[in-house]
A and B are shown apart, each in its own frame.
Chain A
Amino acid sequence: MHVFLKQKDIFGFAALAIIIVILPVFVESKYYFIVLNVIGLNTIVVVGLNLLIGFAGQISLGHAAFYGLGSYFSGILTVNYGFPLWPAMVIGMMATGMIAYLIGYPSLKLRGHYLVMATLGFGIIVNILMGELEHFTGGHDGLIGIPQLAIGGLTFDNDLKNFYLIWSFVFLSMLAARNLLNSRVGRALRAVHGSESAANALGINTANYKVKVFVLSAIYASISGSLYAHYISFISPSSYDFYYSIQVVTMVIVGGMGSLWGSIFGAGALTFISEALHVAKQYHVIAYGFFLCLVLVFLPEGILVGSYNFFLKRKTRKLIKRGEHLKNS
């Protein structure tokens, strides 16, 4: 596989790696470790979803289901059937990818927003099945005792070790996504986003690319779900409801559709807000709604890119003014 990294990406990833390595030095309480780990898990889902929303221009309201499939495949295979941990995770990834293909292929062949309906329906069905198939999933009470991941002799049994595990996955998933976007596939996706008809006319099989991106984003969610299951060691259907799908979509939008670095920002900002509002849980929904609407109305490119553009424009205006001033004098 070729590696396509531009110079500015290399700086970005180097900075990310350094931050990941030294951040734990400054974090003291266990609570903040948990928050950071949840941010990492959400970031993986958001990066994948952002590929779909920001680059293929399609909406999924069922990513909670893919996230949940990852968790439940890992949980059920390891707890009920005694599978080894990493193979269970890989099986989860492959199965989730295949399911995503079955949903994506028919709905993405068509133009328009059919995927949003298919994923929405699928998400609700999966959530119901998680609660009702008690024999496998433990029903509404959930599945307990999912073992912790381990490499060789190293078991990821505390928050610090899990921090490094989860954030390594974040790093790798970002790297993979950036690499994909800088390659031929990425250029094709950008063309699809710009104008599907034009892309089609240039010989890009648009439907095919959209399905592939959808499957990839489902696999991202599945990986994150598996990591979550092994980290928390307990899963129940309420973590994978319709509301989670909307949460991750909000994170993509706040971070900026089509902005990879924005994904970390979106996941971080909204996870943090959720935690800050923990005492006033009833305001969760309103806060998310307000955030979503404010960003969409005023900064549709996302907070980071949007405000950057805003200041850029102001700077340009200033420069133009100065130019006119000079011309007049």
Chain B
Amino acid sequence: MDFSQQIAQYIITGLTIGAIYAIVAMGFNIIHNATGIVNFAQCEFISLGGMFMYSLVVLFKIHLVISFFISTVGVALIGALIEIGPIRHARSKEIIILIFLTIGLSEIIRGTAQEVWGTDNVGVPSFSGENPITLIGGATIVPQHIWVFGITVMVMLMLRYFFKKTLMGKAMRATAVNRRAAALAGICVNRMILLSFAFSGALGAVAGMIIAPISTTSYDTGIMLGLKGFAAAILGGYGNFIGAILGGIVLGVLESLGAGLISSQYKDAIAFFVLLLVLFLKPTGIMGYGEAERV
């Protein structure tokens, strides 16, 4: 394989992982926009997605499509439960307390997942075979990568449709802009926040499921993927949807190139190094503008 082929291969891998980061970043953004908090339980949504898929497909031999659907709904419900339970009933609504609360919740979920599934890495079968397809230029692509791209694009289009065209999506956006004004306009703000948690649960689950056949899954795969998705959200401009996609892809490609050309040992460090650089140079991110937070 010559150099340009190698680069093409790194970029394809980077785009795939970047698509995952983009979905995760979306999950972070939706909750951030609705509530202003950083939801660390997002990491656990990814792990749960992957592990549900593993249980249903491998252990219970349920058809892939049905499993996909059940896992998505299941994790979305867990997301909703988090909001209905602790987040809504917390006696203090200070942002800092709610952020810590999501950290605590993610500890509980991770601990429970470890009890249920153990600590081993497990594989999930690819959605359609393992035979690599050779692209023009000589780089190869495994069908699962195409699934990752396809599903990511689908998810993005669906989200876009939901937020731009449907009444509920518009109500969610209104809540994000100004909670009080939205409530005055007759929007049930609590329901919108509930919905945003369910959404980010579903997004996390999808990310966890589509990456599982490529990189295997375990009770804590979500931590690194989640934190990097978070870095992608910052890179793109926190709360910005187009930014999440751009941030995810840029981060994925940089990480893949860095791991391939510099050193694979520092693969995880590269993503966070990019995060630090962004915070120092342009903390509002690629798509961000103006002051980070209004008074």
Contact = CB atoms under 8 A, between A and B. Distances in A.
A112 interface: yes
A122 B114 CA distance: 27
B279 A296 contact: no
A59 B27 CA distance: 21
Interface string A89-108: 00000000000000100110
Interface in B182-225: 223
If over half of A's interface residues share one DSSP class (helix, strand or loop), that class is named, otherwise mixed; here it is helix
B106 A117 contact: no
Contacts of A289: 104-111
B293 A122 contact: no
B38 interface: yes
B91 A293 contact: no
B114 A285 contact: yes
Interface residues of A, number: 45
A134 to B, nearest CB: 10
Given A282-B114, A298-B91, A292 B272 contact: no
Contacts of B91: 297-300
B103 A249 contact: yes
Given A132-B265, A289-B104, A289-B105, A114 B283 contact: yes
A286 interface: yes
A141 to B, nearest CB: 15
A283 B114 CA distance: 9
A250 B13 CA distance: 37
Given A286-B112, A289-B106, A292-B100, A110 B268 contact: no
B242 interface: no
A297 B231 contact: no
B111 to A, nearest CB: 3
Give the interface centre of A112, A282, A287, A296 by most chain B CB atoms within 10 Å: A296
A249 B89 CA distance: 21
A15 interface: no
Interface of A: 53, 57, 59, 103, 106-107, 110-114, 116-118, 120-122, 124-125, 128-129, 132, 197, 242, 246, 249-250, 253, 282-293, 296-300
27 contacts: A103-B276, A110-B283, A110-B293, A113-B95, A114-B292, A117-B231, A121-B231, A121-B275, A124-B227, A124-B268, A125-B273, A125-B276, A132-B266, A197-B295, A246-B103, A246-B107, A285-B110, A285-B114, A288-B107, A292-B107, A293-B101, A293-B105, A296-B86, A300-B90, A300-B91, A300-B92, A300-B97
Q: Which 10 A-B pairs have the closest CB atoms?
A: A289-B107, A292-B104, A286-B111, A289-B108, A285-B111, A121-B272, A300-B92, A112-B293, A293-B104, A121-B275
